[in-house]
Structure 1
């Protein structure tokens, strides 16, 4: 098993959320079992109607089945709760991720990181539209967190289980668990690293719809920004309202020497938005109290 921090040997759990991914699992599972014979490999079957759970059993892999499709994020949460390892590796079951890259993620974790994400190279995205969308999401999330995010939506990552479990209640049941978990780790001050990978062509049909899920990702990023870094969201809005009100007041004063109701409304809106941001910042800090205490205990034990 991979040795981390030079002294501690940690058990590894590899979690594959899967819905109708028999085509990808047929070749992926034998490779994982051969390369990591001692790892806790788990397929979380999210209401599949094909041979996904049968293939898992045939390859001597643990399988946990949802009675109906609950979403990719729900499958990730189920796998996290059932995992036996100290280190959790999440990867897609469609064959896009190379099992050999797991060693690279674990090696990077050995440098002191709590989460390592496999960052897909731009030319390996399925389409030009997805490349542009991911560039936009990465940039927006980088602004929200204050850290450079190279691949916000990559489902291939290695994390410390004790930290990841603390944020399970924040993860949505849909396709945005990578977004939420990445921003939660950054907001908590837990070190995150990226390792460049090349994603292969998926086997089978994708469950992600670009327009529908793209809009969802955008809304989720805004919601996460309000939850994790409220002032990065509310302060620019407040400043924009204030500058607009000031400009409008200057215009009305020059034209009619009046202070109008619209100017008053814009100034009040700017003040209220700023105050909401301050309150939200205090509420946001409460989400990470447990993570901070856990980090202090870990440092004392080391």
Structure 2
């Protein structure tokens, strides 16, 4: 329903150069409707060694700081456990000014058309990797749910809080998006994808990029293996 409250959760690790612009964009969309689009903005600093928390404090309702890096999934969980909204909107910290388009992600959930809406980037960068992690995640989700998604790894999601409360064995790292999708589908919740003109930092075909995607694939595999052995989340 249109009057449902929204909490935004932004997990961040060493994003001092991007988080300010991202949070500023989220503030710009807050007052564009007759009622505030969201009621709280929670940033979870996952053990950053830079000024991420300090930069976030200017814009966030609350900043949660992990003493050490626990992983993206753990950061998202810390945020949604603190959130009071009926809907939780997750946003990556490096979206910068394109984060203002996330308002479109809330519409299908508020209209009752979906319980989880996932953003699909309209213009993927040609500088990205080979798509191995994306295909691996998509194929795994299909095998376990029978559903196909174009953006299985997107971190931009609007999710009903009741769905999040039913999640068990929350992946602490980069398997969180795959885990959310599989668990939601198995529980009978409706999932949709929404194309949005978002942009964020691409790791590219560099050594650090391949290292990142390698770790991502390991986390995805661990998440899928745990769910493969169970018929329900």
Q: TM-score range by the shorter chain?
A: 0.7 to 0.9
In the alignment, the residues of structure 2 paired with residue 61 and residue 115 of structure 1 have an alpha-carbon distance, to the nearest angstrom, of: 24
In the alignment, the residues of structure 2 paired with residue 24 and residue 84 of structure 1 have an alpha-carbon distance, to the nearest angstrom, of: 26
In the alignment, the residues of structure 2 paired with residue 208 and residue 29 of structure 1 have an alpha-carbon distance, to the nearest angstrom, of: 28
In the alignment, the residues of structure 2 paired with residue 225 and residue 180 of structure 1 have an alpha-carbon distance, to the nearest angstrom, of: 11
C-alpha distance 67-207 of structure 1, shift in aligned 2 (>3 A): farther
TM-score w.r.t. the length of structure 1 is 0.67
Task: Give 5+ residue unaligned stretches, structure 2.
Answer: none
Contact 2:154 2:177 survives alignment (8 Å): yes
Contact 1:117 1:195 survives alignment (8 Å): yes
Contact 2:127 2:202 survives alignment (8 Å): no
| Structure 1 residues 176-202: Cα deviation after superposition (integer angstroms, max 9, x where no partner) | 111101110000111111112344232
Number of residue-to-residue matches in the alignment: 222
Contact 2:25 2:100 survives alignment (8 Å): no
Displacement after TM superposition at 1:227 (Å): 2.2
- Structure number with greater Rg is 1
Partner of 1:294: none
Displacement after TM superposition at 1:120 (Å): 3.0
Tell me which protein shows more helix as a share of its residues.
1
In the alignment, the residues of structure 2 paired with residue 222 and residue 126 of structure 1 have an alpha-carbon distance, to the nearest angstrom, of: 30
Q: 1:220 aligns with which of 187, 206, 223?
A: 223
Q: 1:30 aligns with which of 24, 39, 49?
A: 24
C-alpha root-mean-square deviation of aligned residues, in Å? 2.5
After TM superposition, list the pairs within 5 Å mapping 1:196-211 onto structure 2. Answer: 196-202=195-201, 209-211=212-214
After TM superposition, list the pairs within 5 Å mapping 1:56-205 onto structure 2. Answer: 56-95=56-95, 98-109=98-109, 110-121=111-122, 123-124=124-125, 126-129=127-130, 131-167=131-167, 169-202=168-201
TM-score w.r.t. the length of structure 2 is 0.85
Contact 2:86 2:161 survives alignment (8 Å): yes
Contact 1:23 1:203 survives alignment (8 Å): no
| Structure 1 residues 146-190: Cα deviation after superposition (integer angstroms, max 9, x where no partner) | 1122222111000111221220x3211111111101110000111
Task: Give 5+ residue unaligned stretches, structure 1.
Answer: 229-283, 288-302
C-alpha distance 208-15 of structure 1, shift in aligned 2 (>3 A): farther
In the alignment, the residues of structure 2 paired with residue 101 and residue 145 of structure 1 have an alpha-carbon distance, to the nearest angstrom, of: 29
Partner of 1:9: 3
